[in-house]
Amino acid sequence: MRVIIESSAEQGSQRAASIVAQLVRKKPRAILGLATGGTPLKLYQELIRMHQSEGLDFSRVTSFNLDEYVGLPPTHPQSYRHFMTENLFRHVNIDIRNTHVPDGRALDYETYGSQYEAMINEAGGIDLQILGIGRDGHIAFNEPGSSLGSRTRLKTLAPETIRDNARFFGSEEGVPRLAITMGVGTILESKKCILLAFGKEKAEAIAATVEGPVTAQVTGSALQFHQDVVVILDEESASQL
């Protein structure tokens, strides 16, 4: 793992954006793995700025998102599809047909999970996966206890994740209980990963992920097995390293 500590979330997000931009310039048909949540927002804003002012071209890029809440239609304001449309896709020239977010309305999740993985493989695999991290150290929706070899599947959200996400749904009761998520094993197959974490509430999860034992209780720690991970932090999230 290569750990980069920047002075602020802005600086860290710019650093991440420059890695994404470098890839897209070198490989216009890059396959990006994208994440939702508050953490990557500044990265997406920087990519939009680079598109608008430097002509960064997304026209041949394909994307796969990590996860989606079960039961939410793509039009739901809290669905991850809606998040991606509003915070990135509609501001850049990506072909929306080449963007993939797991379908929270699939009927048969076992089949759907395999299909999502097959789509990733047919596209050539993910070149660069963007990741955030939960306070309990989870990546995507691979909650504590997820198998480190897991594939795209249905997952029950942990109580801590439900509490953390209640702010988006008005109440804990409003948060979906299930999500479809790429597995830890799926994520580890990406050619490169960028893990972003900002703020002191992520410090413990980052210490466990970067320096702790590899454990299914902190699924981010599985990234220690990956050969090309860049961890981009601010001083607060790095404070327990």
Where do contacts with ligand GLP occur on this chain (CB under 6 A)?
35-39, 66-67, 132-134, 140-141, 161
Catalytic annotation, pick one of 67, 164, 234, 236: 67
For the residues of the chain, what is the DSSP string, one character each?
-EEEE-SSHHHHHHHHHHHHHHHHHH-TT-EEEE--SSTTHHHHHHHHHHHHHH----TT-EEEESEEETT--TTSTTSHHHHHHHHTGGGS---GGGEE---TT-S-HHHHHHHHHHHHHHHT--SEEEE---TTS-BTTB-TT--TT--SEEEEPPHHHHHHHHHHHSSSTTS-SEEEE--HHHHHTSSEEEEEE-SGGGHHHHHHHHHS--BTTBGGGGGGG-SSEEEEE-TTTTTT-
Q: Is 136 a catalytic residue?
A: yes
Least distance (Å) from ligand GLP to the CB of residue 141?
A: 5
Catalytic annotation, pick one of 46, 127, 136, 234: 136
Q: Which is nearer to ligand GLP, 65 or 98 (CB)?
A: 65
Q: Which is nearer to ligand GLP, 37 or 183 (CB)?
A: 37
Q: Is 54 a catalytic residue?
A: no
Q: Is 108 a catalytic residue?
A: no
Least distance (Å) from ligand GLP to the CB of residue 140?
A: 5
Q: Which is nearer to ligand GLP, 35 or 222 (CB)?
A: 35
Least distance (Å) from ligand GLP to the CB of residue 55?
A: 29
Q: Which is nearer to ligand GLP, 36 or 150 (CB)?
A: 36
Known catalytic residues are: 67, 136, 138, 143
